[in-house]
Amino acid sequence: MTEPRSYTGPGPFRIDQLREEDRYELSDGHPIYCAPGGRDHADGSSTGSLVLKTDPAVEWSGFDAGYRTDGGTLRAPDIAVGPPPERDGWIPGAPPLAVEYASRGQDEAELEARIADLLAAGTRLVWVVRLVGPRRVEVHAREQAVRVYGTDDILLAPGILQNPVPVRALYNRDVACDEALRNLLQRRGFTSLEAVQAESEARGEAQAVLKLLEIRGLRVTEAQRQTILDCRDIEQIGIWLQRAISADSADSLFQCIDGKMTLINLST
């Protein structure tokens, strides 16, 4: 059973006495029972994780990851964002960003103690996502007053996350999916879905230029082929496609500038 929060002094338990399947955390040697989450808690934490885990700056994120801060303290925030653990088992230190979802029946004293343990161990930011009452997120940082953000606000985590996180994305699945899509595109080098579409269109047009040259029996070197495929200026590719209809050789589409081969703008 969880000990009362009124205890003073260290408790009798150690981290090495806990197994991964045990539903307990430790605070200075005192056991804290962690009850299973209800529907709102489970849905909220999975929604928030979708946004945080896909952020381009995030190397690792996990649910209920156990962080050991010393011999008698083990905390497992709902979502942890930080460097990838070096090995299995309890993770030493504390995550730079921890997220807690507070739903029905939340033990406020225990939540405060958990936040205090994480901040004392080195966590930079703790976001408490409130699932009861007005939707809001409380941001805790060491030696700073608690800041409260509503559903129309955004959250920042400089040095941890690359992108801002709309508060709604921590509750609303549709908003979370939109943010995750942006994050995933950025992780692959695209700024937006429109950029992906432009890339696809440019690739298709570049392939058309090469196909036309092939049909006309004009020899294309590998360097020329790669230059065409690397071009992303759809207007320029359109000009080359039009001019390739009557070009007498593939070489006539190219010129040498400062020793580098580049495509000629044949509109001039």
Question: Above pLDDT 70, what percent of the chain?
Answer: 91
Same domain assignment for residues 177 and 202? no
* Mean pLDDT, rounded, for 90-102: 95
Cβ–Cβ < 8 Å for 199, 190: yes
Query: What is the distance between the alpha carbons of residues 58 and 221, in angstroms, rounded to a whole number?
Result: 41
- C-alpha distance across the termini of the chain, in Å: 82
Under DSSP, the state recorded for 66 is: -
Those residues with Cβ within 8 angstroms of residue 144's Cβ, 6 or more apart along the chain or in another chain: none
Question: Span 62-87, mean pLDDT?
Answer: 90
pLDDT at 219: 87
Q: Pick the range with the lowest mean pLDDT from 17-26, 37-46, 167-176, 193-202.
A: 193-202
Answer yes or no: are the C-beta atoms of 241 and 209 closer than 8 Å: yes
Q: Tell me the residue type at 87.
A: R
| Residues 137 and 254 grouped into a single domain | no
pTM of the full predicted structure?
Answer: 0.74
Residue range of the domain that includes 150: 15-187
pLDDT at position 22: 82
Of 187, 214, 230, which marks where a domain is finished?
Answer: 187
- 255 pLDDT band (50/70/90 cuts)? low
**Which position has the token pair 């939109």?**
178
Residue 80 pLDDT > 80, yes or no? yes
Q: Amino acid letter at 67?
A: Y
Angle at 19 between CA 17 and CA 24, to 5 degrees: 85
List, in order, residues 6 or more apart from 170 with CB less than 8 Å away: 44, 47, 48, 51, 99, 127, 129, 137, 176
The domain boundary, picked from 166, 187, 208, lies at 187
Would the pLDDT of 3 be above 60?
no
Residue recorded with tokens 């007498």: 248
So what's the pLDDT on residue 267?
A: 41
The reply to whether 31 and 158 lie within a common domain is: yes
Number of separate domains in the chain: 2
Nearest residue to 121 via CA among 73, 174, 53: 73
Does residue 8 form part of some domain? no
Give the helix/strand (H/E) hosting 229: helix 222-230
260 pLDDT more than 60: no
Closest CA to 51 of 176, 189, 174: 176
- Is 57 domain-assigned? yes
pLDDT tens digits, 25-39: 888 888 888 888 888
Mean pLDDT of the region 83-97:
91
With a CB cutoff of 8 Å and minimum separation 6, the contacts of 86 are: none
- Comparing 112 with 234, the larger pLDDT belongs to 112
Per-residue pLDDT at 254: 65
Of residues 206, 235, 233, the one with CA closest to residue 220: 206
pLDDT of residue 73: 92
| Domain CATH for 118 | 3.90.1570.10
- Asked, for residue 9, whether it belongs to a domain, the answer is no
| Pair (257, 236) in one structural domain | yes
What percent of the chain stands above pLDDT 90? 47
Q: Which tokens in the block code for residue 101?
A: 């979802």
Indicate if the pLDDT at residue 103 is higher than 70. yes
